[in-house]
Amino acid sequence: MSVENTKIIDFISEEGDNVILTISDHLQWDEENEHIFLLQEKINAYLMVIESGQLNEKHPASIGKKVTISVALKYEPNKNGVLFLSNVNDTLSHSGYGFAYTFIPKS
């Protein structure tokens, strides 16, 4: 499970009337363009699963719930990473989906 594997959803969880699809992102931001490209591909893959009905088919508990895509980041995003994530938030919110990202520093 990782941002590099677009063929699977890393994690699915539920919180009230919300189903959360989480992307596990372990990549550093030194290869910024590649990192953003991989995130974009993974987010697009998640959207395909949602919009094709596969999410409801494989996870019936998601039917009728708001869908949020979440990114769990191992490394803090740089300026362009934050800009990209902000743009994703704007785009997804206009499409009726939630979006969130969290930087989870190493303990």
CATH of residue 72: 3.30.750
- Spell out the per-residue pLDDT of the chain, length 107, in tens: 689 998 899 999 999 999 999 999 999 999 999 999 999 999 999 999 999 999 999 999 999 999 999 999 999 999 999 999 999 999 999 999 999 999 988 76
Q: How many domains is the chain partitioned into structurally? A: 1
Neighbouring residues of 100: CB distance < 8 A, sequence distance ≥ 6: 68, 69, 70, 71, 89
Residue 5 in any domain: the answer is no
Residue 93 in any domain: the answer is yes
Which of 15, 8, 87, 79 is CA-nearest to residue 42?
Answer: 8
- What is the domain extent for residue 87? 11-103
Residue 30 in any domain: the answer is yes
Is the model's pTM score more than 0.75? yes
Residue 57 in any domain: the answer is yes
pLDDT of residue 75: 95
